[in-house]
Each structure stands twice: as structure tokens, then as C-alpha cells.
Amino acid sequence: MTERPIPPSATLESALYAEDLLAAETFYSEIIGLSVILRQPGRHVFFRAGQSVLLIFNAAATTQPPTIGQTLAVPPHGSEGRGHYCFSIPAADIDRWCDHLQNKGIAIESDIHWPNGARSIYVRDPAGNSVEFADPALWSQGRY
């Protein structure tokens, strides 16, 4: 029996799905401030989010796997329905994010003060995905 590997230390990338990639790109780049690192019109737009990458796919386009030469590059993985993504932001910046989002016409769907003292706010992106901005203390070991 082989020894179990060390557990992963972080999330490298996460995916959300949107039919209107231009609206998603506008939201995540112009309102949230993420940098676009790769786009393929009609299929995907990818953003740098700190040390990780936020992938936004058109679900219909990902049901057919892309190929590189004769080799299958990525398995199909289209998803349906609304997803969830959470940005880690300093607790001291949550009010500033509330003001910024509301000034951009983005409604705060929920503002939660968690039992462990952390706080998070929720909005919807143009595709209806739930986007959370949370104090990283939310998931501090032993605090929730």
C-alpha cells in the first residue's frame, strides 16, 4: 500500500458558468477589478484572483472537450444552474465593498454577521451566480 499524499493546500482554480461571457467579463473585470488572463469568445474567460484563477465558462461550449492536436486536452465538464464563489477580503474592507457594489448598481443580497464574529456579503453576478465577499476569519480553524 502506498502512503497517502499530503492534502492540497489551496484551491488553484474554480469555475462558474455564464451564457453571456461579455456581461461576466464586464462584471468581474470592471466592477470586481480582476485581471483577464485568457479568453476564448463563446467558450470562456479566465481571471486572476490573488493566487487562484476564476474560470467562467459557457456551459454549452464545455460539453464538447477541446483538443490539442489528436489528444484530448480537458474532459467535458459543463454545469447547469447557479454556482457560488467566495472572495476573501479583509474584514475592514467589507463596508467599502458594500458601498462600491451599491454605487455600481449591484444589490447586496445578504449581509451576514456569523456566530464566530466573521462577516460576509452576497451579491449576484449577471448570470445569477452567488458571489460572496468574506472575512477569511469565517473559516479560521476552530472558530466556526
pLDDT at 102: 97
Mean pLDDT of the 18-44 span? 96
For residues 18 and 69, the model is more confident at: 18
Mean pLDDT taken over the chain: 90
Residues 36-90: pLDDT tens digits? Answer: 999 999 999 999 999 999 999 999 888 876 666 666 666 777 777 899 999 999 9
> Do 16 and 128 form a contact (C-beta atoms < 8 A)?
no
pLDDT at 80: 78
User: Same CATH topology for 10-65 and 82-144?
Assistant: yes
Report the 10 Å Cβ neighbour count for 144: 11
pLDDT at 64: 73
Mean pLDDT of the 103-118 span? 96
Mean pLDDT of the 87-95 span? 96
Residue partners of 56: CB distance under 8 A and separation at least 6:
15, 16, 17, 18, 21, 24, 25, 28, 44, 45, 46, 47
pLDDT at 110: 97
Cα separation of 127 and 119, whole Å?
24
* Domain 82-144 annotated CATH 2.40.50.140: no
Fold classified for 10-65: 2,3-Dihydroxybiphenyl 1,2-Dioxygenase; domain 1 (3.10.180)
Where do the structural domains in the chain lie, given as residue ranges?
Answer: 10-65, 82-144
